[in-house]
Amino acid sequence: MDTLQSLNFETVELDDQKNALVIIDQTLLPNKVVYLSLKTMAEIWQAIYDLQVRGAPAIGIAAAYGLYLGIKQSSATDFDAFFAEFSKVKKYLASSRPTAVNLFWALDRMETCLMKNASASVEKIKTALLQEAHDIKAEDIHTCRAIGEYGLSLLKPGMGLLTHCNAGQLATVKYGTATAPMYLGQEQGYNFKVFVDETRPLLQGARLTAYELNRAGIDATLICDNMAATVMSNGWVNAVFVGCDRVAANGDTANKIGTSGVAILAHYYGIPFYVCAPTSTIDMNCQTGRDIHIEQRPAEEITEKWYAQRMAPQGIKVFNPAFDVTENANITAIITEYGIAQPPFTTSLKDIFNKKLSGKKI
């Protein structure tokens, strides 16, 4: 049985004929399933900024298609003029969100593709860019599946798991990263019991992960973020699986705000804490978590966004970082599509990239 059949939605899709990027509007889930057809660069930028499309891999795929759409109708006939337009669109899309490295990784990959085809006609370059964006999307499926298989190899049937935010199918193309072992386990009768942190302030856990796991028939229990210690101390959690937005070369990991607290708790209770990381999310140019730019979001997301009425006094100061950094000391292993990296991560992540560079198949 393909558990994922029940998740019959496409997170990000190109409608090349209509020159549109089609996304499922994640801000309306779980109450409404609405697809948006985004045509202008401003619409695509805003959809990424507003988290209508969100999750590191999905942001990368949206940006790659966005860049293609942004230069598809260019009337430039020579390479220099075309490259100038391409660079302008690339820079604009890159400014939408700063933390998830997949955004920059996907845009850079598009630029590398353009450079490789520099001697071709502009029309041929456009075709190559379209193919590159399709490849980025297709590769994400194999990547997540491989992460799921490696993750599942660490688990036993009947285990209790905990996850934070949404690193699910909605954040990728299929399987998700942190949810991939759950979905593959479900297909093989593992009967996991998954605790889902609601994930303040934007409730990606409550609105998105709970929605996905429920639809897939996985035993999921929603908890407020401040209940993780309770379920852990009760002995109900055997492993924590989270996604990531950027992993530094030493293994420090930026993920949704609150992740670091979950890791500290897991460490305290002796529960393995696994980060599921496609290599596209590992940034070997960041030496440590201190080099990772943490996005600050508007105060309204905390004070009023999800409530019928404002829930905090007018004029109160608000601090709203969208991500935090989990120190490598609190991470048991980083699960990539090329294998499981264990501490010391400075060495093991290099080994993972060496496998990738050697052309090893996933």
Ligand X SMILES: CSC[C@@H](O)[C@@H](O)C(=O)COP(=O)(O)O
Q: Is 54 annotated as a binding residue?
A: yes
Q: Which two tokens stand for residue 231?
A: 């379920």
- Residue 200 annotated as part of some ligand binding site: no
Q: Decide whether 212 or 245 has the Cβ nearer to ligand X.
A: 245
Among 20, 23, 162, 165, binds ligand X (CB under 6 A): 165
Choosing from 44, 54, 147, 212, the residue that interacts with ligand X (CB under 6 A) is: 54
Rounded Cα gap, residues 4 and 172, in angstroms: 13
User: In the β-sheet with 323-326, what is the strand arrangement from edge to edge?
Assistant: 282-283, 246-248, 253-256, 323-326
Q: Which of 12, 89, 93, 167 binds ligand X (CB under 6 A)?
A: 167
Residues 6 or more apart whose Cβ sits within 8 Å of residue 344: 251
Burial class (CB in 10 A: 0-12, 13-18, 19+), 303: middle
Per the annotation, does 256 bind a ligand?
A: yes
CA distances from 241 to 110, 266, 283 (A): 30, 11, 20
* Contact pattern for ligand X over residues 201 through 240, marking x by CB under 6 A: ---x------------------------------------
Q: Cα–chain-centroid distance for residue 334? A: 15
User: Could you say which of 177, 186, 326, 328 contacts ligand X (CB under 6 A)?
Assistant: 177
- Decide: is 53 part of the binding site for ligand X (CB under 6 A): no
Which residue number, 21 or 51, has a Cβ lying nearer to ligand X?
A: 51
203 contact partners, CB below 8 Å, separation of at least 6:
306
Ligand-binding site membership of 204 (annotated): yes
Per CB under 6 A, does 243 bind ligand X? yes
Residue 224: φ, ψ to 5°: -70, 155
In terms of phi and psi (left: phi > 0; alpha: psi -120 to 50; beta: otherwise), the region of 345 is alpha
Determine whether the annotation assigns residue 255 to a binding site. yes
Instruction: State yes or no: residue 255 binds ligand X (CB under 6 A).
Output: yes
**Active-site positions?**
245
- Smaller CB separation from ligand X, 45 or 82: 45
Annotated binding residues, written as ranges, equal: 54-56, 97, 204, 255-256
Binding residues for ligand X, rule: CB under 6 A, are 51, 54-57, 100, 165, 167, 171-172, 176-177, 204, 243-245, 255-256, 322
